[in-house]
Amino acid sequence: MEKITIHATERSPAIDFDFASNTYLIKGESYPEDVTEFFGPIMEKLDGHLRGQSGENISFVFELIYFNSSTAKVLMGLFDMLEEVADEGNEVAVTWCYEEDDDNMQELGEEFGEDLVQATFILKELPLE
Amino acid sequence: MSYEIFKKEQDALEQAKALVDAGEHGDGEAAKHFEALLNAYEKLFKTTRRLVRVSDRNEAELNKATKALDEKNLMLEGLSGKLGKYLSPQIYEAIFAGVSDADVRTERKKLTVFFSDIKNFTATTEEMEPEDMTFILNDYLTKMTEIALEHGGTIDKYIGDAIMVFFGDPDTKGVKEDAAAAVRMAIAMQRRMVDLRAKWSDMGFKLPFHIRCGINTGYCNVGNFGSEQRIDYTIIGGQVNLAARLESICEPDGVTLSHETYTHVRDAIDATPLDPIQVKGIRDPVTPYSVEGIFDDWNETERYIRRDDVPGLRIWVDLLRLSDDQRRDAVHELEEATKLSKNVLIKSLCSSSKDLAVCSFYLY
């Protein structure tokens, strides 16, 4: 499957999904006008690819600065998907990055990571840019 | 006991789980559906709680950002208010309303230009303490500025004790009205000076401060002059120089007008022509006019008798300018004019009326 590379805009995050190496990145701010339109096709492709994986090393990195409630719902669905993929025998590492003074993003990461049992959850502090 | 916003949902969930644990949630397919529904509800419940928290956090962040923005706005407002004092209020408002851009641009317009200064200011204040001089000058400039703004003038600049004001940009009421506003402003300033001299005298400053005012109307270049780094909103041109020249020849406590300004205000202002003067840059001699008073001003109601709004009737008397003998002559002239008018009126009425009673009424 071809890579998905979408550049960040003022309202939507950068997407860098490399299916061949199973490395995925969502980075930036996320409050798209239409969450379904933005995330729908990406999530569909991701779901289609990950469901067929077995015994693979999968790395998912989140580097978000801000996201709205609709994006939060998408992220929760994505965490569920990753947990299921891990449950199916893949090594899944989810890295949640937050800037060093961003308590809000740190707490959100901690909450989102609560449900991951099979997948490995890593909370990573990044120095301020 | 702490308040929990999701207590009702939590209780329902706990009760359902208890039923499952006790095996009291039905049999067979129904039990499976119940368990699936319970799992889905538990997940949805968790999602809802998280979404509410995300929403609350975002709202808190937004409020924090709004507060910071408000503080910044307040700071900028204060700063712009301070900077605004370096500008004429009309220019400040035009820039902040987005009507005017602060770029180097000028245009040609007919304006009325006013100059004033305090006669012998430097010599008079030489003996004063700097603090006293600062107080007097600021008091003077403050009062004069108030008057200029009341009359709609654009304050161009203060040059020491001199004030330069113009009318016609950025706001104009028409050339004639602008000229009248400038002259009325000058007269108001001279009247305020009487009060100021009395006030300063009461405060112990024995300063014989007297101002001179010069006003001219003509085409000027108005706008932003300067460079991209530093601009001045001002006016330039020969007509500006003429206003300054008229101010320099003005008698203390007086207001001197150019011929053009006088022609715009002659319906409302009484002025006397002075000896023509030669002005640098202007070929022909210029006739200045010295302002005597305002016809329609309540301060002058006992001075002027003036009617010229009816075709065929024109009466103009300046009682202050006449000597006693001249006043007697004026009374005589008016009585003669009254008699003559009455006779003409009676003849006219009698020739058109058969009623003798009407004629005899007018005869007495």
Among the partner residues B50, B55, B58, nearest to A76 by beta-carbon distance:
B50
Considering the entire predicted model, what is its pTM? 0.65
Distance of CA B266 to the CA centre of its chain: 24
Give A17's strand partners: A4, A24
What is the rounded CA–CA span in Å between residue A96 and residue A102? 12
Cβ–Cβ contact A116 with B under 8 A: no
Whether A70 and chain B come into contact, CB under 8 Å, resolves to no
Name the residue ranges covered by the structural domains of chain B.
Answer: 7-72, 103-297
Decide if pLDDT at A104 tops 50: yes
Cβ-defined contact of A72 to B50 (cutoff 8 Å): yes
Per-residue pLDDT reduced to its tens digit, B328-347: 998 898 888 888 888 888 88
Answer for the pair A24, A60: CB distance below 8 angstroms, yes or no: yes
Find the residue in A nearest to B60 (Cα): A104
Residue B158 pairs with which residues in a beta bridge? B163
The Cα–Cα gap between B216 and B106 comes to 20
Q: Which of B46, B54, B61 sits opposite A69 (nearest CB)?
A: B54
- Structural domain of A27: 4-126
Across B136-161, average pLDDT: 94
Q: Which residue of A has its CA nearest to B57?
A: A104
Q: H helices within chain B, ranges in order?
A: 7-21, 28-84, 89-96, 121-125, 130-150, 175-202, 238-249, 259-265, 324-352, 356-363
List the one residue out of B220, B229, B238, B228 whose CA is nearest residue B281.
B238
Interface A:B, Cβ pairs < 8 A: 25
Burial B66-84 (b: 16+ CB within 10 A, else e): eeeeeeeeeeeeeeeeeee
- The total domain count for chain A is 1
Question: B103-297: what fold?
Answer: Alpha-Beta Plaits (3.30.70)
Q: What is the ipTM of this complex?
A: 0.78
What integer best gives the mean pLDDT of chain B?
88
Tens-place pLDDT, residues B87-115:
888 888 888 887 777 777 789 999 999 99
- Burial (CB < 10 A; 0-12, 13-18, 19+), residue A85, is buried
**Comparison of pLDDT for B320 and A41, the residue scoring more:** A41
CA A106 to CA A97: how far, in whole Å? 8
Paired strand residues for A29: A66
Helix residue ranges per DSSP H, B22-129: 28-84, 89-96, 121-125
Q: Do B54 and A108 touch (CB under 8 A)?
A: yes
Q: What pLDDT, on the 0 to 100 scale, is given for residue B1?
A: 45
pLDDT > 80? residue B302: no
3-state DSSP assignment of residue A125: strand
**Upstream peptide bond of A32 is cis (omega within 30 degrees of 0):** no
Amino acid in position B312 = G
B57 lies within 8 A of chain A by CB: yes
CATH number for the domain including A79? 3.30.750
Pairing type for strands A120-126 and A4-6 reads: unpaired
Average pLDDT over residues B230-257: 93
d(CA B54, CA A31): 13
